[in-house]
Amino acid sequence: MSGSPLHRRLTRAGAVVLVAGLVLGPALWVAGAVARVDPAAPLQTAGLLDIRVKNLCPTLGPTPPCSSYYPTTTSIGFVPSGNDFVYSFTSGHNGSGIAVVAGTNLHLVAETGVPCIAAPPIFVVPGPYSFLVCERYDNQSGWSDSLLAFNWTNGSVAAMIPVPFAWPQNFSVAYEAPRAELFVALSPGIGEPDRLLTLSLPSFHLLQNTAIPFESGPPFLWTWGSDDQLALAFVGNSSLLTFDPSTSTWSRGPDLGSPVREATLDIPTGRAYLLVGSYSSSSNSFRILDLQPKTLGVLSATTIPTGSDFHWFLADETHGDLYVLWSGGVDGLNESDGHLIGSWLYWDSLTFSPTGGGFAYSPSQDMMILPGEFQEAPNSPIEPGVSVMNLTHGSSPQASYTGTPLVGSSFPLLVFLVGFVGGVGLLVAGAVLRSRAPDDSDSPTDASGYH
């Protein structure tokens, strides 16, 4: 056999493989780290477990009736501290029902009737009260308004406070816990100044009725800072307005860059969400801004898909989502990146339709409720009720790699291990073969004395 013995070949090959593994593996790791890309986080998803329609008509006697041939107005709000829903419906004239519905099973907990039209929305604030604008019509004096304080802990009306007239959608309510004061902003309309009312709780005594300067229009009101100041946004205006109750001082707040269209508040966190944007003939551009409750700075901006026909939206801080109600259903958007996590029809039937009372969401149940009305047939009575959507949140992985192709975290380790194990193995094999091979000095010699 020509050339070097086998054990020498194995030894040389083992040394080369071992050195290559020890040097090339770490070198590839360093090279991969320079261009390393972290694995993409899984995409959040949300699916519809089931959807059903439930009749929610409190048994309040003949006025208001549970079934009528008049259009029914319904509204709903979620109370996080009690895991309950406050639900109202109006059918007929100057009569409404208000009920507390358990968030776990939607069973009726308490109910009461009021001699007025309890119009949406329902204002949910921290504490035992939710608020509704209650309207009455008199043939002699026309329309009048009262602010109805509903105690959801026992299902009773705590107060009916007369307030200047404005349409219900032009009201906003905020509660300031450190001062135990309720603030009510309202916009009467053209020719009348917007007003800010201050009420003391639990007496509901009117402490102040002041004009709101600067911009005017349908307001949205919330507390900010250390819960001792107020911020107001006005529909159609891009700049905020702030108010310090301790000094009765108004100030200009930050400009949001685009006119405000709608707003909502996340009660547990105190964070305000404002829908801003402009309509144009070519395209619509809208964003939902998440405002920091201490500084009014923008924490995130979620783009609404172009062409969305939205009416209401609400925040789900538990899952980091925003739910947008449009004419046919609900879209779920991830707050961090704006991607669509789900889209659901409110009810696949012509017998149910929402009535403009917003919608509510229970994060602990992952359940969404839309108030509306039923009419089994064109000539059938109209009944109040809700469409209930049970959701399930999950995630799906995104396709991604770590580092440059073939130079991630696994490949350098594989090169190192193969080089180390393979090199050591070859060296050991070479050593074993050498120990078994005859020594060159022991080979026989010829007559001339040469090997």
**For residues 425-434, average pLDDT:** 75
Based on the number of CB atoms within 10 Å of its own CB, is 166 exposed (0-12), middle (13-18) or buried (19 or more)? buried
H-type helices in 286-358, by residue range?
none
Amino acid 37: pLDDT: 58
**Which has more confidence, 404 or 117?**
117
The answer to whether the predicted template modeling score (pTM) of the entire model surpasses 0.85 is no
pLDDT bin (cut points 50, 70, 90) of residue 172 is very high
CATH superfamily of domain region 44-394: YVTN repeat-like/Quinoprotein amine dehydrogenase (2.130.10.10)
pLDDT bin (cut points 50, 70, 90) of residue 13 is confident
Residue-wise pLDDT tens digits, 197-223? 999 999 999 999 999 988 778 999 999
Q: Quote the CA–CA distance of 119 and 73 in Å, as a whole number.
A: 7
Q: Dihedral, CA atoms, 330, 335, 337, 340, nearest 10 degrees?
A: -10
Q: In Å, what is the CA distance from 420 to each residue of 13, 15, 139, 408, 427? A: 12, 10, 96, 19, 11
pLDDT reading at 405 higher than 90: no
Amino acid 62: pLDDT: 40
Residue-wise pLDDT tens digits, 307-355? 556 668 899 989 999 998 887 788 899 888 888 899 888 765 667 888 7
pLDDT bin (cut points 50, 70, 90) of residue 92 is low
pLDDT reading at 306 higher than 70: no
Q: Which helix or strand (DSSP H or E) is residue 58 part of?
A: none
Work out the mean pLDDT of the chain and round it to a whole number: 82
pLDDT reading at 240 higher than 70: yes
Amino acid 361: pLDDT: 94
pLDDT reading at 237 higher than 70: yes
Amino acid 443: pLDDT: 47
Q: Quote the CA–CA distance of 247 and 249 in Å, as a whole number.
A: 5
Based on the number of CB atoms within 10 Å of its own CB, is 258 exposed (0-12), middle (13-18) or buried (19 or more)? middle
Amino acid 1: pLDDT: 44
Amino acid 163: pLDDT: 94
Q: Max alpha carbon distance in the chain (Å)?
A: 145
Residue-wise pLDDT tens digits, 110-139? 888 888 888 889 999 999 999 999 998 888
Between 144-148, 246-250, 422-426, the lowest mean confidence (pLDDT) is in 422-426
pLDDT reading at 152 higher than 60: yes
pLDDT reading at 448 higher than 70: no
Provide the token pair at 124.
């949910």
**For residues 22-34, average pLDDT:** 69
Between 91-105, 345-359, 364-378, 431-445, the lowest mean confidence (pLDDT) is in 431-445
Amino acid 34: pLDDT: 56
Does the CA dihedral 303-308-312-314 come out positive or negative?
Answer: negative
Provide the token pair at 255.
């400009």
Q: Dihedral, CA atoms, 186, 188, 190, 191, nearest 10 degrees?
A: -110
pLDDT bin (cut points 50, 70, 90) of residue 399 is low
Under a CB-based contact definition with an 8 Å cutoff, are residues 305 and 340 in contact?
yes
**Which has more confidence, 447 or 250?**
250
Three-point CA angle 335, 336, 337, nearest 5°: 100
Q: Quote the CA–CA distance of 87 and 84 in Å, as a whole number.
A: 10
Which SS3 state, helix, strand or coil, does residue 351 take? coil
**Which has more confidence, 220 or 45?**
220
Give percent above pLDDT 70 in the chain: 82
pLDDT bin (cut points 50, 70, 90) of residue 296 is very high
**For residues 423-434, average pLDDT:** 75
Amino acid 230: pLDDT: 94
Q: Which residues pair with 124 in a beta bridge?
A: 130
pLDDT reading at 33 higher than 70: no
What DSSP designation does 24 have? H
Between 127-131, 140-144, 230-234, 362-366, the lowest mean confidence (pLDDT) is in 140-144
pLDDT bin (cut points 50, 70, 90) of residue 404 is low
Based on the number of CB atoms within 10 Å of its own CB, is 141 exposed (0-12), middle (13-18) or buried (19 or more)? exposed
Q: In Å, what is the CA distance from 21 to each residue of 17, 335, 415? A: 6, 46, 6
72-85 burial: b if 16+ Cβ within 10 Å, else e: bbbbbbbbbeeebb
Residue with tokens 């070097």: 4
Give percent above pLDDT 90 in the chain: 33
Amino acid 182: pLDDT: 95
pLDDT bin (cut points 50, 70, 90) of residue 431 is confident
Between 23-37, 47-61, 83-97, 434-448, the lowest mean confidence (pLDDT) is in 434-448
Q: Phi first, then psi: what are they for 232, rounded to 5°?
A: -130, 135
